[in-house]
Structure 1
Amino acid sequence: MNQQLDLESYLKVSLSPDRMTGYIHFQRCDDDFSVTAQELERLVRQAGISYGILPEALQAIASDPAACSIKETVVAKGLPARQGTDARVLFAIDLSDGFKPEENDSGKVDFKEVNRIRNVQRGQLVARKIEPGDGEAGINVAGEPVAGKRGRDMRLKVGKNVVCNPERTMVYAALDGVFTLTGSETINVFPVYEVNGDVDYRTGNIDFVGTVVIRGNVLTGFKVRAAGDIRVVGGVEGAELESDGSIEITGGIMAGNKGSVKSGKSLRCSFVQDGTVSAGEDVQVSQSIMHSQVKAGDNVLCLGAKGLIVGGSVQAGEAVKARTIGNGMSTATSIEVGVRPELRQELLNLRKTMKTHGEALDKTEKALTLLDQLAASGQISPDKLALRIKLGATKKQTSAELDEVRDRVLEIERSLEDSSTARVEVSGTVYGGTRIVIGRYTRFIKDPASRVSFRYIDGEITMGSMV
């Protein structure tokens, strides 16, 4: 077939809306139809396509027109533009975790010799913004340049006691203090509040906008709240500690099932007994966690010389690592990983909400049915009519709220399925009585096992040897 007019009666060339892809599709295909790859290329070029032509696609059409007549064939592809790098924050302060205390043969750690406070001076540069990149240009199939997409911009998140230059690209400390990142990477400089002794009736409760250092114990019944970090050079009894930053306790937590310790970032201590603790990131305990409720957004690490977890419940978004889990008496011990603890709690709350909303909706629908029957018989009074209208609005609102709750439940349940990176690692022994939960799957340990790890693989929790 040599005449272009005849060829165009069989074939049509089209471009995608973004002009990044070229297609050929058959308008008709006779049994004796034939065409060469060269003729197809001329047709494509006459249609305005000059870049990214795919010779193999043209040859496939020429070799077997009938097979290619069923659907359109991609015959050209453009070069997509590349997005530039996103804007980011470069901190002038060392944010690496330099907390690496020496551990002696007995497993004791000396926290007193380590100073992890990031001190800054007034006027010191603490962070600067790196502007987004422009990206790389591409070419569409018509040979036209496609502008590269600039990376996503961002605003520096400025908190307490810091100032920016006019361009808002540099952040400086406004006073002498400690550099602290709070939720969503907000930049702050907080002064430090020190208590030289116990938190007791002499000091009262503490609620401070910066970092709190307590050179003593926190006694039962008292509260310490800090927008920065909390450091206790002593122990914590049945008290309430809450920090937006990290919490470090040189001694341990002996709560007697009272109070709680809640950290927005990491939590470190030597032991937890009969306590309730939580951290947005890691919980690191050097000795033991006994009969306690522990929650960590990322990891729970109990890897000291003793490294024991027994009794209670330990939850972590990523991993739980310990030397020993449970004991020879088969004390019930629950270990849960694979989803952030707050999501598990949210799921429980949502299911309760679904139940109450469902019951309320059922009662509303039954009442509306009776009122509808009265209306149909013409026996409905004005007050019943007003009630009918009100119940109709209530039903609509409750149904909408119930749909929102169901959608959120499904979203959380889908996240429970993604537990491929979650794990429980035991470098010593895991004993019977231990319950391992990964995502939405559970495994009960009946017999002791040594140096094992637990992961979710192919629909079940598997136990393997640690390397």
Structure 2
Amino acid sequence: MKYMVNVIFSFIIIGRKDENICRRKEYIPMLIEENEYLLIEEENDVIYITVLKKGFSLLDMNPLLTKHPRILINQFKALRDAAAEGKGEKVAIGELKPEIDWSVSPDLMSASIRLNCTEKDLSENYGDYLSNIMTALHEKGIAEGVLAETLRKGLLAQQEILIAQGTEPIHGKDAVITYFKRSVRKPAIKEDGKANYYDMSFLDEVKAGAWLGEKIPVTEGVPGRNILGDYIYPNKGANKKCMYDKGTVGAFKEGDKIVLRALKDGVVEFEGGKIKVGNHLIIEGDVGPETGNIDFIGSVTVKGTVMAGFAVRAERDISVLSEMGVHNIDEIVSRNGDVFIKGGIFGGGRSKIKACGSIFVKHSNDCILEAGGNIHIGYYSLGSDLKANNIITDEKKGRLIGGRAEAYGKIKAAVIGNMLERKTIIQVTGFDRSKLIEELNSLLHCYKEKMVRSESLKVRLEDIAGDESVEGKDSRWEHVQREYDEVIAEIFQYEKQRRSLIEILDAKGEGEVTIGEKAFPDTTLQIKSLSKRINQATKGTFYCQDNSMHFE
């Protein structure tokens, strides 16, 4: 290995040309290159040049550097001046690179080398280079992950070579929780060639023992080791808590999972962030003289119809599945859920449908519909009074004919009014967008605060669970768990409010009426305090912005 300089105690061993020459204290300059123009020497790891006469070109240095890869030129001005003047003066122009350049990553996970030699030198002295590398590995304490095959036959001259690689730890995986996915309440008009149906997945019925979710527990991970052999401990995965109502849902160890199963028959609900099985009353036939009026703490499914003069009231969702719909009923009221009338309503002027959430009907005739959420109408509303956050009909077949439709954010219909020019009032009370955005931002701020609080409480629960010495452990756990459950319930309530605000802000401007196909004359549109009377067939979107009504 040419020009290798190793200092061992007080001895200096000079490169392979003079590898048998050893001297004490003194250091004799070593001649590296000589020709009619120059001398290149090395002394104490410094490279010197003596330019004997003019005529030497700096371009001639390139083949010399290729021939002697351990030469590093770092004083270019001195070299340029020496070549230009040719005075025969000895000038320092660089330094001698080490035989082996070492590079160890800061995290001690890898070590690489670069051999400053020619391919010929490496080939002729492979064993010596390998021996020096092994010695250096020992001195540096690198014993883990040494790439023996690379050392044995993979060394290359003047290239970065990875020779040791630590083992990365395998970090633990977070717990994974999957819950029963409730059906999306998105009504659709379906055709089977004989009739059109207004249908949707409304209630998710389950039997006792049904799967409601599962948890794949957190994993600990596997330690790694750096190239010095030190262990690198993995991060443990983050644990997560299954949120379920313990009165109606059970958690069971099945294999390596925790599985949630229904403890009773009912419908799947999410309340306060917890999955539960809600009470479900199924009326196989009609609501009428045989059943009397229905008032139920839970959800109600009527597979028949609700007969004239009768009422159905429920705490949660109500669905009436008869294709014939309902006629001249008293009322159908959901105090904390949605209402679905598959066959529509014939009201006779007194029927009333009311929901804290949304209402889904095939059609409504001469009745009253009030929703805290949205009203979705498949075919038409005729002479009815409608009131909701948003009123949406089928974009191709939905009609609003006569009566009054009042919404907070937007109203969308394919057709408004009819050829007989029946008086139809469309009113959007509208909103202040800037105030609504401010309300949304405030809500998101509270949401984030609750999320931080929930994480803090979760850590406290884990600490209590892991500390056997805590006095009154059970009571402290229950107290913190109760607060944690309350915070999670608030988070889900904020999320519900967020979705409602987003739905309203989705309207154009500060209130929108969209007519997909045609609005007939004698239709009155009112958005906020601005009114527009339709005098000719019109199609498009009206919206209010900056105290003006716009049309596009």
Query: Using CA pairs below 8 Å that are at least 6 residues apart, which structure has the higher relative contact order?
Result: 1
1:161 aligns with 2:253: no
Give aligned-pair identity as a percent: 25
Q: Trace 1:213-252 onto structure 2 (pairs within 5 A).
A: 213-234=301-322, 235-236=325-326, 237-243=328-334, 244-252=336-344
Give distance in 1, aligned partners of 2:426 and 2:391: 15
Give distance in 2, aligned partners of 1:230 and 1:442: 37
Name the SS for the 1:262 alignment partner.
Answer: strand
Q: 1:271 aligns with which of 363, 371, 374?
A: 363
Q: What whole-Å deviation, never above 9, does each CA across 1:271-307 have from its counterpart, x for those lacking one? A: 11111112232222111111111122344324453x2
Give distance in 1, aligned partners of 2:265 and 2:363: 34
**Which residue matches 2:523?**
434
Name the SS for the 2:534 alignment partner.
Answer: coil
The worse-fitting range, judged by mean Cα deviation, of 318-327 and 93-102 is 93-102
Give distance in 1, aligned partners of 2:357 and 2:523: 28
* Superposition deviation, residue 172 in structure 1: 5.5
CA pair 233-330 structure 1, distance change in 2 beyond 3 A? closer
Give distance in 1, aligned partners of 2:251 and 2:390: 32
Q: Aligned AA for 2:309?
A: G
* Superposition deviation, residue 203 in structure 1: 0.9
Q: 2:283 aligns with which of 177, 195, 213?
A: 195
CA pair 302-442 structure 1, distance change in 2 beyond 3 A? farther
Give distance in 2, aligned partners of 1:462 and 1:91: 45
CA pair 95-197 structure 1, distance change in 2 beyond 3 A? closer
Q: 2:346 aligns with which of 254, 258, 269?
A: 254
1:109 aligns with 2:197: yes
Q: 1:177 aligns with which of 259, 263, 266?
A: 266
Name the SS for the 1:435 alignment partner.
Answer: strand
1:333 aligns with 2:425: yes
Give distance in 2, aligned partners of 1:159 and 1:419: 44
* Superposition deviation, residue 442 in structure 1: 2.2
CA pair 204-127 structure 1, distance change in 2 beyond 3 A? same
Q: What whole-Å deviation, never above 9, does each CA across 1:149-185 have from its counterpart, x for those lacking one? A: xxxx9996859734689xxx99763322211246x66
CA pair 160-451 structure 1, distance change in 2 beyond 3 A? farther
**Which residue matches 1:371?**
none
Q: Which runs of 5+ in 2 are unaligned?
A: 1-176, 217-239, 253-257, 433-503
**Which residue matches 1:285?**
377
Of structures 1 and 2, the larger Rg is shown by 2
The worse-fitting range, judged by mean Cα deviation, of 200-209 and 419-428 is 419-428
Give distance in 1, aligned partners of 2:372 and 2:245: 21
CA pair 330-215 structure 1, distance change in 2 beyond 3 A? closer
Q: 1:320 aligns with which of 380, 392, 411?
A: 411
**Which residue matches 1:120?**
206
CA pair 224-154 structure 1, distance change in 2 beyond 3 A? farther
CA pair 430-159 structure 1, distance change in 2 beyond 3 A? farther
RMSD: 4.0
Q: Trace 1:7-406 onto structure 2 (pairs within 5 A).
A: 91-97=179-185, 99-103=187-191, 108-109=196-197, 111=199, 116-122=202-208, 126=212, 158=245, 161-162=248-249, 173-181=262-270, 187-234=275-322, 235-236=325-326, 237-243=328-334, 244-303=336-395, 305=397, 307-328=398-419, 329-336=421-428, 338-339=430-431
Give distance in 1, aligned partners of 2:517 and 2:407: 20
TM-score, length of structure 1 as denominator length: 0.50
Q: Aligned AA for 1:177?
A: G
Name the SS for the 1:94 alignment partner.
Answer: coil
Give distance in 1, aligned partners of 2:546 and 2:309: 48
CA pair 320-254 structure 1, distance change in 2 beyond 3 A? same
Give distance in 2, aligned partners of 1:448 and 1:129: 61
More strand by share: 2
**Which residue matches 2:513?**
424
* Superposition deviation, residue 456 in structure 1: 1.5
Q: Aligned AA for 1:219?
A: M
Give distance in 1, aligned partners of 2:303 and 2:375: 22
* Superposition deviation, residue 459 in structure 1: 1.8
Give distance in 2, aligned partners of 1:338 and 1:274: 25
Give distance in 2, aligned partners of 1:315 and 1:90: 40
CA pair 462-127 structure 1, distance change in 2 beyond 3 A? farther
Q: Is the 8 A contact 2:183 2:202 kept in 1?
A: no
Q: What whole-Å deviation, never above 9, does each CA across 1:93-136 have from its counterpart, x for those lacking one? A: 2343465452468982253xx65432334455646899xxxxxx
CA pair 290-282 structure 1, distance change in 2 beyond 3 A? same
The worse-fitting range, judged by mean Cα deviation, of 119-128 and 187-196 is 119-128
Q: Is the 8 A contact 1:180 1:245 kept in 2?
A: no
TM-score, length of structure 2 as denominator length: 0.43
Q: Aligned AA for 2:295?
A: D
Name the SS for the 2:402 alignment partner.
Answer: strand
Q: Is the 8 A contact 2:408 2:429 kept in 1?
A: yes
Give distance in 2, aligned partners of 1:433 and 1:159: 57
CA pair 316-128 structure 1, distance change in 2 beyond 3 A? farther
Give distance in 1, aligned partners of 2:357 and 2:531: 30
Q: Which runs of 5+ in 1 are unaligned?
A: 1-88, 131-152, 341-414
Give distance in 2, aligned partners of 1:272 and 1:159: 41
* Superposition deviation, residue 200 in structure 1: 1.2
1:457 aligns with 2:549: no
Q: Is the 8 A contact 2:298 2:315 kept in 1?
A: yes
Q: Is the 8 A contact 2:204 2:267 kept in 1?
A: yes
* Superposition deviation, residue 457 in structure 1: 2.4
Give distance in 2, aligned partners of 1:101 and 1:129: 37
